[in-house]
Amino acid sequence: MKRLIQKGLMFGNLIHVASPAMVERYNRALEHLTGKRTALMDFYIDISGFSPEIGLELEDELYLNHAGVNRQFILLTTEQKKAPLLNAKFSTSRTILRHFIEENEPELFALTARDAVAGELVNSVYTITSPRKLFDIRKITIDADTTQGTVTHAHTLGAKVDRFLKEEEAWFDDVLIGEMIQLAEKTGDVTRNPVRLKHMEFEQGNFWTTHFGPLYVFQDVTHPAILTAGDPRILEGVPVPYVFHMSQRNEIAKFFDLNGLVEPIVAAQGVDAAAILRQKMDFILIDAVAGEATDLDLRSRAEMRRLARTYADRLPEEFHALAALVNWAENGGPWPRITSKHPAYFYTLRAADHPDADLINMALAELSPKDVRQLFICHKDLFYQTYAAWPDAKKAYVADYLEREYQVDKAGARAAIFGREPAMEGDTPPPKDLVTQVGPWGAIRRR
């Protein structure tokens, strides 16, 4: 993993905590939440304030996430909104934290100028002892304040100010005035500078979790189901009608299709479908030859073609199917029939325009793991797990590619792969109507 860390592909964008003042603020918040402190004088934190170094020091990787539910957080700066979430147990957690920071950024900026903000993602479940408990997590709220209770004091002071202004006798209430003065010393003038965090609630409908799986839980779709990489038998009795193992490709393909969750890349607007498919072919090629070829420092299209010719007898079905699809898209070749039984099927799909598109792309990455770019972007936990078992030549190629092609323009790369820009006026749309009529990979002809 050292290569990934050096290239900023692992533990990238973490916030460095190095000044004594910031370390002390962190310790106050840590003690407030957990009763523990760190002896480290500098460390890195993610969006939730979790530090891998402190996790090692405390011998507890879940020191801010006990039992994997009700994640606690420590905010030292609003810049944490750009950081990743490490050791995530739910796919929704980082989105919730980022949204909370962005919606309260001016207030949090003012609060963290003097103190740390400590809080918790609160739901009605405190421990998940069975898979059914996952379905009790429907609404998540955020409880947050500084370690000195600034937000709470400000709320109390605001109520007392309202009382002072409304009650005629309040002008002669020395006790009330004294309490207001004491609170104002802690909060400042709340009439001119309100210290208030928005009350925020988040629904957790469709999500991924590491509990009892990992699992993809789809309960807010027309035909609910769970996709699992673990043992489906432990999910008996869950309140959804279908449970599919990730190896049940036909069933998962039908589930995606019935709920309108995916679309063929060649029918998608706003992307260069042939370029995306050709890049997938490159990754499949590298996977096939990495154990044989030791030098994979290849960057040109000609070099990739030469490598494919050299090891043509080793190329898997996925490579040939995607090559046929590229030939159809670019040269008017015959339409390749790629059913859900074919190992290339999920490589040809992407998430449809759906509120849970990121979750769908995450599942597709797991179903097409040789596409290492999508795996890295959409499912980093699985990327790191599979990376550890790759031949060194593949590790080097993938790390160099991601540093060179992805790190320099993350937003641009994601837009090129997943973007949904509307078609230009006058452009001929892809044959989406035909695709809808016969299914994603029916026997249709090129227009």
Angle at Cα 14 formed by Cα 12 and Cα 18, nearest 5°? 135
Q: Is the distance from CB of 256 to CB of 249 less than 8 angstroms? A: no
What are the φ/ψ torsions at residue 378 (nearest 5 degrees)? Answer: -100, -20
Cα–Cα distance for residue pair 252/346, rounded to 1 Å: 10
3-state secondary structure 26-41: HHHHHHHHHCCCCCCC
Give the per-residue pLDDT at 171. 65
Q: What is the DSSP string of 257-306?
A: HHTT-EEEGGG-SSS-HHHHHHHHHHHHHHHHHTTT-S-----SHHHHHH
Q: Quickly count helices (H) and strands (E) in the chain.
A: 17, 12
Q: Among 387, 405, 383, which residue's Cα sits nearest to residue 396?
A: 387
Q: What is the pLDDT along the chain (447 residues), one digit of tens a residue?
A: 889 988 888 988 899 999 999 999 999 999 999 999 999 999 999 999 999 999 999 999 999 999 888 899 999 999 999 999 999 999 999 999 999 999 999 889 888 888 899 999 988 777 888 999 999 888 899 999 888 877 766 666 556 666 667 777 666 777 766 766 776 666 665 444 556 788 888 888 899 999 998 999 999 999 999 999 999 999 998 999 999 999 999 999 999 999 999 999 988 877 888 999 999 999 999 999 887 766 677 667 788 888 888 889 899 999 999 999 999 988 888 889 899 999 999 999 999 998 999 999 999 999 999 999 999 999 999 999 999 999 998 999 999 999 988 887 788 888 878 875 433 343 433 333 434 333 444 433 333
Q: Is 176 helix (H, G, I), strand (E, B) or coil?
A: helix
Tokens of 238: 């869950």
Tokens of 2: 């050292």
Cα–Cα distance for residue pair 184/161, rounded to 1 Å: 10
What residues contact residue 328 under an 8 Å CB cut-off, 6+ apart?
Answer: 266, 334, 335, 336, 446
Q: Residue ranges of the domains in the chain?
A: 15-150+194-204, 260-438
Site of tokens 């320099």: 408
Q: Is 0.85 surpassed by the pTM of this model?
A: no
